[in-house]
Chains A and B, each alone.
Chain A
Amino acid sequence: MTSRFRKFLGDSALSFPTWAYMLFFFALPVALVMWYSFGFKPDQFTTHSMEQLSLGRYREVVSPTFLSVFTATLRISIVGTLACLVIAVPFAYWLAVKVPPGRRGLLLALVLVPFWTNFLVRTLGWQIILSPDGFVSEALQGIGLLGSPLDILYSRAAVQIGVIYNYLPLMILPLFVAMDSAGVQLREASADLGAGKWRTFFQVTLPLATPGVVSGCLLVFIPLTGDYITASVLGGANGTMIGQLVANQFQNAQNWALGSAMAVVLMLFTLAVVVVTALLALVVKAIIRYVGRVELPTGQHAGTDAGTAADLPEGSRVRQAEPAVSGTTTGGPHA
């Protein structure tokens, strides 16, 4: 074994099983899908053929049907992610700051109960709630708020409610962790230095929670974009999402080549969103840093932006999982 080889492998021996598994059961099959996307469907009974390689399937993907479903999916996932963020920021702040520490654990556990309830079953709960002859509809009619039965099930609005509900815990959790680990000391320091409540929130708590916001948004956006279960339970025919189109090519149309091309487009798109989000987060952080800087009268600039994430003491971030986005959060010292 040459020393260079040893230097490259180093202490990686322990990670070999993980490497092998992920390459064999993730990288290889996905590479196979990419390969299929250059093929074609020769006849009714064959799923794909690789005898003639072309980009033809990608041209087929960019059809009006696909594009309209694609835009609709995008609208639902962007609105869904933003709505989750708007709901979760005050909630996570309340949980991390206002709730007495003794009760925090119990309430956090309660937030996770939906997370541990089957995804489909929760969605079925919404189907019952939103149904035109359900109890909500009858109650609303009873008190005269609605003249006719509730007409929301099997519409895009129902899908929107369903996805916001299903992915909300994934937004609350990283936000709570980020706001909680910032600790009470920095907020007290900010108040001692004369900042009001809102100023402390926008210049100390929120910037410190940026990694949580980024991971929360990605944790919600990525699975939401690929999800079609919620949409097909609550949206019916009006709830076609992009994932459904891909699945149809494999499960019904038996056109693996076209389905693969759609899947590759979906994957590249998701990846692009992740990269753009990461870049945007960096820009926003730089802006917050610039706007939030404090000019000290002595002209000393050292430590002027104590409120931004980069100046967080390393130890306080160590316990964060940084799940999906280890590359995009600032990364702990051990990353």
Chain B
Amino acid sequence: MPERIRRRSLTDTALWVWGAVVFVFLFLPIAVIVLYSFNNGRLLASFDELGVQAYVSGLQNDVIIASVMTSLKAATGTALLATVLGTFGGIALARATKGAKWPVLLTALLALTLVTPEVVDGIAMLPWFVTLGVDAGLTPFNNGLFRLVIAHTAFSTAIVTFIIRARMAGIDSSLEEAAEDLGATKWRSFRDVTLPLAGPGILAGALMAFTLSLDNTILSSFVQQPGYTPWPVYIFSAVRVALRPEVAAISTAMLVLTLLALALVGLVLKRSGNSSSQIVKTMAGS
């Protein structure tokens, strides 16, 4: 018996050590970036002296600020558009009549967008925007911000749809039927019953679309227009020239803001009575 207990604690210890090692691995580069954002030197990679010079000059750099703003605007637009499309799509899929053909087709189409490599989306979007904007004369398609929102939405709608479908699939449709039995019109039952029920899923979907858009580099580098360079594309072009500590400083500031926003969302979900594991899973879109 004692032998068995000791053996069990050995695998347990190994698992705890492994957990710690993976956490160190996950946080190592982030810690490095945060640390190097306090580098007063001229180049990011060679640490000179400790200071906040990078933050000061980063916030005064118009090009950097403009690209961060472009990214934030594009991410907001994408979150709005993808959430609307994903909510409609997700609810329709979850509430489809059994045996109908269109849900299978729509799921297949959305799954196809997920298995398509991002570079393919990029090279497909570029000629398409040129066709629409220049040849067909639809001028919005020549606007950099509009292009980013449209492209990022095409890229993230599938995930939002699947998150909301999963959320609605777990909810009994008799709730909506009850509302209609009690005299609510189809629209009222949708607005007052279905949408609030889908709430956490919608929030998670919006968050996911926002993050995907904010992080997107490959697709953006194809569809971007002069004057609307998003932040990741700016960094990627800086990698090829010379990286200055400002990049780390602004990224650290953005990370802190993101984490604050996420904590806020977590708080909102907690007040609606979810357990902490559930909250994180909702926010991660699972």
Contact = CB atoms under 8 A, between A and B. Distances in A.
Interface string B25-53: 11111111100100000001111000000
Contacts of B188: none
Contact of A323 (B109, B123, B153, B159): B159
B92 A14 contact: yes
A260 B127 CA distance: 11
Contacts of A247: 119, 122-123, 218, 221-222
Contacts of B239: 120, 124, 232-233
B277 A101 contact: yes
A193 interface: no
B85 A21 contact: yes
Nearest to A243: B119
A125 B33 contact: yes
B169 A91 contact: no
Nearest to A9: B102
B166 A322 contact: yes
Interface in B72-98: 84-86, 88-89, 91-97
A79 interface: no
A173 B236 CA distance: 27
Contacts of B19: 91, 94-95, 98-99
Contacts of B279: 105
Interface string B107-120: 11111111111111
Interface string A3-23: 000001111111111110111
Given A14-B91, A22-B109, A274-B115, A116 B123 contact: no
A70 interface: no
A320 interface: yes
A110 interface: yes
B117 A12 contact: no
B94 A8 contact: no
B30 A114 contact: yes
B65 interface: no
A129 B215 contact: no
A263 B215 contact: no
A90 B18 contact: yes
B48 to A, nearest CB: 13
Contacts of B109: 19, 22-23, 26-27
B228 interface: no
A110 B286 CA distance: 16
Contacts, number: 326
Contacts of A319: 166, 170, 281, 286
Nearest to B165: A334
Contacts of A74: none
B120 A327 contact: no
B267 interface: no
A225 interface: yes
B215 A118 contact: yes
B92 A12 contact: yes
Interface string B223-265: 0000000011001100100010001100100110011001000
Interface residues of A, number: 109
B181 interface: no
A18 B106 contact: yes
A308 interface: no
B144 interface: no
Contacts of A228: 119, 218
A104 B276 contact: yes
Given A91-B19, A105-B275, A21 B102 contact: no
B33 A91 contact: no
A304 interface: no
Contacts of A90: 15, 18
Interface residues of B, number: 110
B107 A327 contact: yes
B8 interface: yes
Contacts of B163: 321, 323
B166 A321 contact: yes
B122 to A, nearest CB: 7
Contacts of A112: 280, 283-284
Nearest to A225: B117
A106 B235 contact: no
Nearest to A134: B45
Contacts of B103: 12
Interface in A125-158: 125-129, 131, 133-135
Given A105-B280, A124-B235, A247-B218, 12 more contacts: A15-B92, A15-B102, A16-B88, A17-B88, A30-B124, A111-B26, A121-B248, A129-B32, A274-B115, A318-B166, A319-B166, A325-B111
30 contacts: A10-B96, A11-B100, A12-B103, A18-B86, A21-B85, A21-B154, A25-B154, A30-B120, A33-B123, A95-B19, A98-B16, A112-B280, A113-B259, A116-B255, A117-B251, A120-B217, A120-B235, A121-B247, A121-B251, A128-B33, A128-B45, A168-B22, A243-B119, A246-B123, A251-B222, A263-B117, A320-B286, A321-B163, A326-B162, A334-B169
Q: Which 10 interchain pairs have the tightest Cβ spacing?
A: A125-B29, A105-B276, A226-B117, A18-B89, A15-B92, A334-B169, A29-B124, A14-B92, A29-B128, A25-B154
Interface of A: 8-19, 21-23, 25-30, 32-33, 36, 87, 90-91, 93-95, 98-99, 101-102, 104-106, 108-129, 131, 133-135, 165, 168-169, 173-174, 177, 180, 197, 218, 222-223, 225-229, 232-233, 243, 246-247, 250-251, 256, 259-260, 263, 266-267, 270-271, 274, 318-327, 332-335
